[in-house]
Structure 1
Amino acid sequence: MLEVRDLHLQYGGIQAVKGISFDVRCGELVALIGANGAGKTSTLKALARMLPQATGRVTLNPPGEAAIDLMRLPAHELIAAGVALVPEGRGVFARQTVLENLKLGAFRVKDRRLVHERLENLLERLPRLKERATQLAGTLSGGEQQMLAIARALMSAPRLLLLDEPSMGLAPIMVDRIFELITNARDSGVSILLVEQNARLALKVSKRAYVLESGRITLSGDSAELLQDDRVRAAYLGEAVNASISS
């Protein structure tokens, strides 16, 4: 679904992303893990065309359709191509209601009946949001706002969902609910690229993973295998093993 080749990103004199390459297959959840400052969020922003100075080849490959060169698209055209981003910090519209936020997720959909069907489906699956449908988004808890941000992205029926740190700052019970929503989206056929600092959680829910360190991918492979890798366990899981990730 997503093919990234030789992605570079520079801020002034700082090289944040140093020629990384990776893939996300159709219907697959892939994790991108790493420490703070590794370049994870920069990578997602580059893919979402929020940082147009990024260079490289980024291709969306919907099954049975022509490939789409995402690097040629401005950010506002990504939704039409089938790409949705849930940014770090949630980014809900605080002074609008839950219902209004969700409808904004489908702003490009002209068929109002289809929008209504998607809305009803999501609210049935997310009773907490349904209960708060007329409540201002800014008055929700952090976990509820994260749930709303993901649900709003799903309203566009994305082919590829980009998730940036969905568990950040949330209580464990809300993290479980958020990741249930994410895995349900994957099971429905949405391809997902997950950036997550909670490496253990990311590796448990993903099929494959890439480890990003100082703007470079240093490890990649099956998530279950990486979860047992001494280098990953030492650097990201807080386990006392005599290993480190080499560059």
Structure 2
Amino acid sequence: MLEVTGLRVAYGGIQAVRSITFHVNEGEMVALIGANGAGKTSTLKAISRVIDAAGGDVHFCGEKITRIAPHDMISKGIALVPEGRGVFPRLTVAENLAMGAFLRNDKPEIATDLAKIYAYFPRLKERETQLAGTLSGGEQQMLAIGRALMSRPKLLLLDEPSMGLAPIMVQKIFEVIRAVAAEGMTILLIEQNAKLALESSQRAYVMESGVITLNGEAAKLLDDPKVRAAYLGE
């Protein structure tokens, strides 16, 4: 479904991502793990067109999307949950979720999807009239994921969904991510918590200093001595 070939990202003279190649199959949950500064977020930003790639190609469902307009990503079926959540702080929870469905006109199905989001995240239902900017960090993360799902994406891009959250909130967020994946959603997960990412995914890639150094089945990488020493504190 997603094919990334020779992707490069640069900030001035600094090469953040150095010609990486990887893929995500339809229905898979794939993790991209690595330390801070490895190039994970830059990779996701280039794929989602938040920033321009310095080189390489990105294909989605057979179509080259390397240079399409950023605002066309949703209509292509790609939804990004950015690092830092990016909710609309002056809109209510309900209004934020409605923004996720702004390209859709199937009102009955939108209502069905909204009920599903509230079932995933009952806290959002309790706060549907509350301004998003007044929510806790964990609640904003729930809202950002819910808003992305309201677009009915083919591919969900998650950038550091556990960052800065209390353990109990991380557990809830990942319960929903796993549930969405189990229903067949294709997911590319960027996550600094390597253990959590590998336990949740089917395959994974390890990034170091802008290059992919390891890849394979997530369960096997979880047992890899190099991965355990570098990312699991062993």
Q: Which TM-score band applies after superposition, normalised by the shorter structure?
A: over 0.9
2:71 corresponds to which residue? 76
Q: Which amino acid aligns with 1:180?
A: E
2:29 corresponds to which residue? 29
- 1:11-34 deviations in whole A, cap 9, x for unaligned? 110011100001111111100000
2:227 corresponds to which residue? 232
State, as a whole percentage, how many aligned pairs show the same letter: 63
Segments of 5+ residues of structure 2 without an aligned counterpart are none
1:245 corresponds to which residue? none
Q: Does structure 1 residue 194 correspond to structure 2 residue 189?
A: yes
2:124 corresponds to which residue? 129
Q: Does structure 1 residue 169 correspond to structure 2 residue 188?
A: no
Change (3 A) 1:147 1:115: same
Alignment of 1:111-126 (within 5 A): 111-126=106-121
For the Cα contact (< 8 Å) 2:7–2:53, is it kept in 1?
no
Shift of 1:178: 0.3
121-130 vs 90-99, greater mean Cα deviation? 121-130
1:86 corresponds to which residue? 81
203-212 vs 49-58, greater mean Cα deviation? 49-58
Q: Does structure 1 residue 220 correspond to structure 2 residue 215?
A: yes
Q: What is the Cα-based RMSD across aligned positions, in Å? A: 1.0
Shift of 1:154: 0.2
- 1:46-98 deviations in whole A, cap 9, x for unaligned? 0001112432121112xxxxx22111311100101000000000111111110
Rounded Cα–Cα distance in structure 2 between residues aligned with 1:127 and 1:45: 30
Q: Which amino acid aligns with 2:8?
A: H
Shift of 1:124: 2.5
Segments of 5+ residues of structure 1 without an aligned counterpart are 62-66, 240-247
Shift of 1:230: 0.8
1:18 corresponds to which residue? 18
Change (3 A) 1:5 1:53: closer
Rounded Cα–Cα distance in structure 2 between residues aligned with 1:53 and 1:70: 11
Runs of 4 or more consecutive aligned structure 1 residues displaced over 4 Å after TM superposition: none
- 1:196-226 deviations in whole A, cap 9, x for unaligned? 0000100100001000000000000011111
**2:99 counterpart (98, 104, 120):** 104
TM-score (norm 1): 0.92
- 1:94-131 deviations in whole A, cap 9, x for unaligned? 11110000000011112222222211221133211111
TM-score (norm 2): 0.97
SS at match of 1:71: coil
Q: Which amino acid aligns with 2:142?
A: M
SS at match of 1:92: coil
Rounded Cα–Cα distance in structure 2 between residues aligned with 1:83 and 1:210: 20
1:242 corresponds to which residue? none
Alignment of 1:147-158 (within 5 A): 147-158=142-153
1:244 corresponds to which residue? none
